[in-house]
Amino acid sequence: MVESHAEGQLPGGDPSRMTERSGTATARKLFIKTYGCQMNVYDSQRMADTLAPLGYRQSAGPEEADLILLNTCHIREKASEKVFSELGRLRLLQEAAAAQGRRLLIGVAGCVAQAEGEEIVRRAPQVDLVVGPQTYHRLPDLVTRALGGEAGRGLVDTEFPSESKFDFLPEEASPSGPAAFLSVQEGCDKFCSFCVVPYTRGAEVSRPVMDLVAEAQRLVNAGTLEITLLGQNVNAYHGEGPDGREWGLGRLLHRLAEIPGLERLRYTTSHPRDVDDELIAAHRDLEKLMPYLHLPVQSGSDRILGMMNRKHDAAFYRAVVEKLRAAQPKLALSSDFIVGFPGEKDQDFAATLRLVTEVGYAQAYSFKYSARPGTPAATAAAPVAEEVKSERLAMLQQLLGEQQQAFNRQFVAQRMPVLLERQAKRPGQLVGRSPWMQSVVVEAPQRLLGRLLEVEILEARPNSLIGRVVTLPEEKNGMEAPRMRATA
């Protein structure tokens, strides 16, 4: 679960907000709280971009905001429940603002917005607007209408429009940072029986190659060294290439790897069925493609995989992993697992443990099955008892935790390139990412933020590595040398 708030935005130029004397837009404050996946983090940033021309700028917290957006997640019950309790808290904030003569707008975006739409404004009348993942390019219009007091109730826009939001979004106005996301594909046509994504995000749509090249180039121009391509089913990517033909993800990765100054590429999340030869070849041929892949399997039991409508069995998954590892021997794997899917018996769960033992994961996410209204599995027979789910989850997490520790330990006394991404909690320390997505903590001055440097690993912790920078950029005439190219 990711919770973040929008990065700073550039001031916009809405004439209605200009003061004649200064000619600058009156700053309105925006706070976005993001739940769920990386796609939501990307979307939140783009929502901030759409609102920049109305003069909305980042606020550090919700208290001083004029507009609060909750960018929500519907994937599991727990994630979705959070929205209504948060809306309760925001109502108090809205009332406090009104008592000071200030108007605080509240909006709900993301997958809960898509799934619940009108129900949200009915249950939570404090909500001024509801916008789905495919309609947030219309946010400026909705906000303007809400400010005008239109209808006196929440405005809801959750259709799946025929136009693509990407044709309407402004260029990125927010700073992207050393590691950025780029949404290349959205939606999913797989219809796993437990999953809400095909309903909340809609059918699969891929963005054209050259739009992505342009966005990636802008990110790199702004200092980004690493780009993670995002999609609910990213390796089903089939965007229009410059030759007018459909390009797959492997080809897209090749093209993006040509961008000078872009050092690292990743992509997430993939489906085993959509790993094609071109993508496997990309792992062999592209140095910039990091040797780490999140490839969810969900279960090791063919019976359960069938009921999940995963469209692959365990043998197929193992074969895909083998091909990928043959192409890139350094490849580390991650996965998602669901325990306690309806009808899961002890022997099914044992098959999952067996598959984990055989494949070996660098890290993984595991969840108890959570029935989602409207999905086929929600009405399936033979639900698994809560205690059994908890027991299985604990066993699986124990095994995955041991594998993660063993994976991390092998790097002690080794060197690896690390992209220093952010300040650590402790002053004087920075946190970066290894090629294998491990968090690496180093003692380093602030000025090294955003650098890709060689780090020696001193210690392996369960969830991170502790390291020491071995090469430092030289300083000439008080100026820093250009960014270092890391050596593996």
Tell which positions 333-372 bind ligand 5AD, by CB under 6 A.
336, 338, 367, 369-370, 372
The one of ligand 5AD, ligand SF4, none whose footprint includes residue 233, by CB under 5 to 8 A per kind, is: ligand SF4
Cβ contact 47:136 at 8 Å = yes
Residue 116: phi and psi, rounded to 5, are -105, -20
Q: Which is nearer to ligand SF4, 223 or 343 (CB)?
A: 343
- Given a contact cutoff of 8 angstroms between Cβ atoms, the answer to whether 299 and 337 are in contact is yes
List 90, 130, 139, 195, residue binding ligand SF4 (CB under 6 A): 195
Q: How would you classify the pairing of strands 464-469 and 479-480?
A: unpaired
Which one of residues 29, 46, 76, 288 is an interface residue with ligand 5AD (CB under 6 A)?
A: 76
Q: Is residue 292 part of the contact set for ligand 5AD (CB under 6 A)?
A: no
Q: Of 154 and 272, which CB lies nearer to ligand 5AD in the complex structure? A: 272
Selection from ligand 5AD, ligand SF4, none that 370 binds (CB < 5 to 8 A by kind) is ligand 5AD
Residue 271, binding choice from ligand SF4, ligand 5AD, none, Cβ under 5 to 8 Å by partner class: ligand SF4
Q: Which of 107, 133, 202, 296 binds ligand 5AD (CB under 6 A)?
A: 296
The count of residues interacting with ligand SF4 (CB under 6 A) is: 10
Q: Is 453 exposed, middle or buried (0-12, 13-18, 19+ CB in 10 A)?
A: buried
338 binds, among ligand SF4, ligand 5AD, none (CB under 5 to 8 A by kind): ligand 5AD
| Closest by CA position to 316, among listed 299, 331, 332, 333 | 299
- The residue from 36, 198, 342, 450 that contacts ligand SF4 (CB under 6 A) is 198
Q: Which of 41, 75, 418, 460 binds ligand 5AD (CB under 6 A)?
A: 75
Q: Which one of 91-99, 140-148, 184-192, 370-378 is the stretch in contact with ligand SF4 (CB under 6 A)?
A: 184-192
Question: Using CB distances below 5 to 8 A depending on partner kind, what does residue 145 bind out of ligand SF4, ligand 5AD, none?
Answer: none
The site that binds ligand 5AD (CB under 6 A) totals a number of residues, namely 12
CB 372 within 8 A of CB 194: yes
For residue 136, the 8-state DSSP code is G
Closest listed residue to residue 346, CA positions, set 395, 308, 309? 395
Q: Which does 372 bind (CB under 5 to 8 A by kind): ligand SF4, ligand 5AD, none?
A: ligand 5AD
378 within 8 A of 307, measured Cβ to Cβ: no
Q: Write each residue from 170 to 199 as x if it is in contact with ligand 5AD (CB under 6 A), else as -, in one continuous string.
A: ------------------------xx----
Should residue 224 be labelled a site residue for ligand SF4 when binding is judged by CB under 6 A? no
Of 34 and 232, the one with the shorter C-beta distance to ligand SF4 is 232
Residue nearest to ligand 5AD (CB): 336
State the helix-helix crossing angle for 38-51 and 139-147, rounded to 10 degrees.
60
In sequence order, which residues have a C-beta less than 8 Å from that of residue 390 and are 6 or more positions away? 368
179 binds, among ligand 5AD, ligand SF4, none (CB under 5 to 8 A by kind): none
User: Exactly one of 185, 233, 335, 375 binds ligand SF4 (CB under 6 A); which one?
Assistant: 233
Single out the residue of 162, 136, 120 nearest to residue 39, CA to CA.
136
DSSP 143-173: HHHHHTTGGGS-EEE----SS-GGGTSPPP-
Distances (CA, A) of 118 to 121, 122, 127, 140, 306: 5, 6, 11, 20, 35
- The CA distances from residue 103 to 66, 86, 327, in Å, are 7, 19, 57
The answer to whether the CB of 69 falls within 8 A of the CB of 107 is yes
Closest CA to 120 of 90, 87, 152, 146: 87
Q: Can you say how many angstroms the Cα of residue 306 is from the centroid of all Cα atoms in its chain?
A: 27
Binding residues among 266-325 for ligand SF4 as defined by CB under 6 A = 271
Binding pattern for the stretch 127-156 against ligand 5AD, x by CB under 6 A and - elsewhere: ------------------------------
Q: From 155-163, 190-198, 431-439, 447-455, give the range in contact with ligand SF4 by CB under 6 A.
A: 190-198
**How far is Cα 156 from Cα 266, in angstroms, rounded to an integer?**
35
Q: Which helix (H) or strand (E) holds 250?
A: helix 249-257
CB of 232 to ligand 5AD, least distance (A): 9
Residues at the contact surface with ligand SF4, assessed by CB under 6 A: 188, 190-192, 195, 197-198, 232-233, 271
Residues at the contact surface with ligand 5AD, assessed by CB under 6 A: 75-76, 194-195, 296, 298, 336, 338, 367, 369-370, 372
